[in-house]
């Protein structure tokens, strides 16, 4: 099970947090989510541990969290994560619980990713969400400076 910690914008579209609190049982832990009002609308998920960004079409909003594991698997496979470890992580993402965001640091990283993604989209004119997620995963993030520098490297280290 994963806990998806959404911003108000995200939770307004996807659903309100459940009354019970819980913690993620998948090895990567919690995911954060925000809604981006592009055309078409997109959900930006960021893993709290690795800061890996995953972009997923928002519509239909009620099933967007259920589509996160497939998008994550595609992205992680393209980054070179081993099959056994990846299968285990994706299986752990089968169930989810919605919660309010709790880390201002991760929300700040999400905001920066959203700005960078908009600039990249405006410059290149394409909206392949996995390619854009791959590009964002290579961006250095200050919370990772003491360890792996970028989300793609942090993911590979976490899922060895």
* Residue pLDDT, tens place only, 76-130: 999 999 999 999 999 999 999 999 999 999 999 999 999 999 998 888 876 799 9
On whether the 2-158 domain is CATH 3.30.420, my answer is: yes
H-only helix segments in the chain: 8-14, 64-79, 83-92, 104-124, 129-137, 151-158
**At residue 134, what are phi and psi to the nearest 5 degrees?**
-60, -45
- Contacts of residue 77, defined as CB under 8 A and 6 or more positions apart, other chains included, come to 86
Give the whole-angstrom CA distance, residue 152 versus residue 154.
5
Q: Residues 23-75: pLDDT tens digits?
A: 898 999 999 999 999 888 999 999 999 999 999 999 999 999 999 999 999 99
- Residue 121: what pLDDT? 82
pLDDT over 80 at 19, yes or no:
no
- Residue 20: what pLDDT? 65
Instruction: Please state the pTM of the whole predicted model.
Output: 0.94
- Residue 99: what pLDDT? 95
């Amino acid at each position: 099970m994963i806990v998806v910690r959404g911003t108000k914008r995200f939770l307004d579209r996807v659903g309100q947090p459940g009354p019970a609190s819980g913690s993620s049982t998948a090895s990567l832990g919690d995911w954060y989510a925000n809604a981006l009002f592009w055309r078409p609308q997109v959900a930006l998920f960021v893993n709290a541990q690795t800061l890996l960004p995953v972009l997923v079409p928002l519509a239909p909003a009620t099933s967007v969290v259920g589509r996160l594991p497939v998008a994550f698997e595609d992205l992680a496979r393209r980054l070179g994560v081993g099959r056994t470890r990846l299968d285990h992580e994706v299986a752990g993402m089968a169930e989810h619980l919605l919660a309010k965001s709790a880390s201002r640091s991760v929300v700040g990283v999400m905001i920066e990713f959203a700005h960078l993604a908009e600039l990249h989209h405006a410059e290149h004119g394409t909206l392949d969400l996995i390619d854009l997620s791959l590009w964002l995963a290579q961006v250095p993030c200050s919370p990772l400076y003491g360890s792996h520098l970028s989300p793609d490297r942090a993911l590979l280290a976490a899922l060895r």
